[in-house]
Structure 1
């Protein structure tokens, strides 16, 4: 018995410690470094090798094909090209901030004409540029397209799965130029940007970093930005400094939110949501409509017509309502238990939460999508 009593306090301490640790996250998981972001590339290209599922007589596609053949030394006018095996496409990709020339990135290929499917097609070499630097070719994409769907038609019938007019080429682009990346501001400051701006979190981040390096190097600028002064001992070791900063543990703070998606009936409730004292009454009215068809047969030799007469009946059923009271100390768990106890469906829950918020009893931001 004494052995069991001695072990119990240790077990409880482990549980409490684990819970505290679970609430802290690494800084790299909630913030980004200003100036270090991926670039968005795009380019116009042609897909060939389609089995009659390409663009119809699109002037853009035909002219592009004629221009491409002209660069290969073949003089063919656009009027001479008649093919459904070619499709005009837009090629897009995301360029990582430190991708070097020669590395590969994935690309997405999307039809911009009336092609029915890109299945089995091959993308011709396509230069890809950035919107803010259109004069530089950052990557060149080409290769066989992978499509996660299909589209077949015959004699007026069509069968389609997913979107066969959009495909992917894993590693389909070779990087030609590296994006300009600026790690430091004025060569002296590292600027962090929080993914979810919050003044409390910004203050906690600054304090955690100062505690890590034992000096006042952090300055919160606003709810999303923290500026760090590069210590003298890290002037030539910027990467090492960033590595230590991004692994600092911090406990983020968030605004209590309730997110509702009316289209799908999804309700997501944050842990800090509180409910003031409120009474909730819930009841349903169900309407059942049924139609029966009666055949009216005329007498023989009466020259009448057989008629089908619909007979419709409607029943209105009012289900008994229920009233529940939530105290001011109600937690999210108590709210869920109450809504389940009164038989609330997801759609009912949406209406109840909206009305609780209108009554001023929901101590959280209600976001409706």
Structure 2
């Protein structure tokens, strides 16, 4: 028995000494400058089965421009058929450190009145960055998830969005984007959510791993890290920092309410002060009926219709419940469920608690 007690005591001590849940640094934010870039292009999809842009002027101009690339000049007044083609916008995300020759997934969306892009092929299209330079070239057959069908009488059915599609690995990178991370005197790590405590914890974890003074928190988002010269040394340093374990601070207490869908999300930091709550339901019911009234015999009266209204008010009786000081999330949910409150009732109760000063959280209504 003594040995068993010693083992149990050791397990309790180990449980108390267990560290709090830690997150990797890479899950809390990113290094400044290491980001994706948006690319956009204007192109033409051909090979459509009569579901193209019909005869829009800019579609005809685009087809003429495509033909002119190959030295084909159409006679004046002769327009190519446009129902089998559609002008489209092509978009893609260029990931950081993407090198020439790598492939990108692209999204193609109709710019005109095309009914469907199913079965079409994108003609070679340059993709430009915000600086107007070409960073990738796109081309390929579209994969369209939607479909549409139309009857002779004008009735039609559309499933999903047939006027847009994707081309997996449909673009090839032609130019790399310089990040400049190997030239800046320091590396800056930016948190996804601003929090002074988390920023200090990240700086402390880096200093414990690299030595005192290696990192310092600049503000609630950024942590500055002293970096060695050269890309290779910095890449090794960034890989080491990304895998450090950091205990993130508890988020601020928030209650998120979506008034349109009735969705209510309460995080674990929410606390409620002492309050007494009751929530009833008032129903007003009005029934309308009509009765035919006949005049008395040998009188000058006429037959008339008399309107009758019956108004009833029903109020559902619900008991008052008490919220003790400082209950946690589970206590709040349990108390609200005890009175059978609907999502709309829960929103009303939370708003009333906020106005009374009993809800220790930020109430956000979407």
Whether TM exceeds 0.5 here: the answer is yes
| Partner of residue 304, structure 1 | none
> 1:342 Cα shift?
1.0
Compared with structure 1, are the counterparts of its residues 235 and 321 closer, same or farther at alpha carbon in structure 2 (3 Å cutoff)?
Answer: same
Matched, 1:329 2:326: yes
State the secondary structure of the residue aligned to 1:72: coil
Q: Where do 1:92-131 residues align within 5 Å?
A: 92-131=91-130
CA distance in 1, matches of 2:290, 2:144: 50
Q: Which of 277, 281, 287 is 1:280 aligned to?
A: 277
4+ residue stretches of structure 1 with deviation over 6 A?
289-294, 310-314
**3-state secondary structure, aligned to 1:318:** strand
Structure 1 residue 365 displacement after superposition? 1.6
Aligned positions of 1:235-274 closer than 5 A: 237-253=233-249, 254-274=251-271
Do residues 142 (structure 1) and 146 (structure 2) align? Answer: no
Secondary structure of the 2:61 match is helix
Tell me the alpha carbon deviations over residues 29-73 of structure 1, each in whole angstroms, 9 at most, x when there is no partner. 011100110000000011111112111221111110111112222
**Cα distance, 1:4–1:319 mapped onto 2, change above 3 Å:** farther
Aligned to 2:356: 359
Cα distance change of structure 1 residues 340 and 214 upon mapping to structure 2, 3 Å threshold: same
Could you tell me whether the CA contact under 8 Å between 1:39 and 1:97 is conserved in 2? yes
How far apart are the structure 2 equivalents of 1:66 and 1:260? 53
CA distance in 1, matches of 2:331, 2:361: 16
Structure-1 separation of matches of 2:82 and 2:308: 58
Which consecutive residues of structure 1, in runs of 5 or more, have no partner in the other structure?
Answer: 295-309
Q: Which has the larger radius of gyration?
A: 2
- 1:317 Cα deviation after fit: 3.2
Matched residue count: 350
Q: Give the Cα separation in 1 of the matches to 2:59 and 2:311.
A: 59
In structure 2, the CA distance between the partners of 1:46 and 1:326, relative to structure 1 (3 Å rule), is same
SS of aligned partner of 1:163: coil
In 1: Cα distance, 2:254 partner to 2:53 partner: 47
Per-residue deviation, residues 304-331 of structure 1 (Å, max 9, x unmatched)? xxxxxx9997754322133212122211
Report how far residue 359 of structure 1 moved.
Answer: 2.0
Return the alpha-carbon distance in structure 2 between the equivalents of residues 255 and 277 of structure 1: 20
TM norm structure 2: 0.87
TM, length-normalised to structure 1? 0.87
- The Cα shift of 1:205 comes to 1.0
Question: What per-residue deviation string (whole Å, max 9, x for no partner) do you get for residues 271-294 of structure 1?
Answer: 111111122211123456778999
CA contact (8 A) 1:106 1:173 kept: yes
Gaps of 5+ in 2: 292-306
Is the 1:40–1:92 Cα contact (8 Å) retained in structure 2? yes
